[in-house]
């Protein structure tokens, strides 16, 4: 008797890796690019008081954003789910840190289909 065919597996979603150091603080992890959403999973360490943010974008427009609460001298895992309910989903995701007053400290821009995020918050997609 012939064995049954193995079940088909969905193709893996693209993933981009970010590393955001700022002094003794950091936010490191991955952005997973789903069809109409973006998942951010990472490790966050706040030295003094910091907040971690994520923002899904396309064509220079913000689709949705999320953040942690303000963390002071603590660390732990962070998970954010961001809506990107447009055809093709988000093309760019910003991940960044602020201080307790909301002042930008450091961040990276992640591009769909590119494995490593780049320093700074950029508006346009890669050419």
In the chain the domains, ranked by start, together with CATH numbers, are 15-119 (2.60.40.10)
pLDDT for 78-97, tens place per residue?
999 999 999 999 999 999 99
Rounded CA-CA distance 52/21 in Å is 12
Listed as own residue / partner, the contacts of 118-124 with beta carbons closer than 8 Å and 24 or more positions apart are 121/94, 121/96, 122/92, 123/60, 124/60
In the three-class reduction of DSSP (H, G, I as helix; E, B as strand; rest coil), residue 59 is classed as: coil
pLDDT mean over 23-30: 98
pTM: 0.89
* pLDDT score of 1 more than 50: no
Supply angle C-alpha 123, 126, 127, rounded to 5: 120
pLDDT mean over 66-75: 98
Give every CB contact of residue 98 below 8 A, 6+ residues apart in sequence.
Answer: 50, 51, 53, 104, 105
């Amino acid at each position: 008797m012939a064995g049954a065919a193995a079940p088909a597996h969905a193709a893996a979603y693209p993933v981009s890796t970010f590393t955001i150091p700022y002094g003794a603080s950091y936010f490191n992890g991955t952005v997973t690019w789903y069809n109409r959403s973006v998942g951010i999973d990472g490790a966050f360490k706040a030295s003094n008081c910091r907040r971690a943010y994520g923002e899904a974008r396309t064509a220079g427009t913000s689709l949705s954003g999320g953040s942690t609460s303000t963390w002071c001298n603590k660390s732990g895992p962070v998970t954010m789910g961001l809506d990107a309910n447009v055809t093709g989903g988000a093309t760019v995701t910003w991940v960044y840190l602020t201080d307790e007053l909301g002042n930008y400290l450091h961040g990276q821009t992640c591009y769909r289909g590119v494995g490593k995020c780049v320093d700074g918050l950029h508006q346009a997609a890669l050419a």
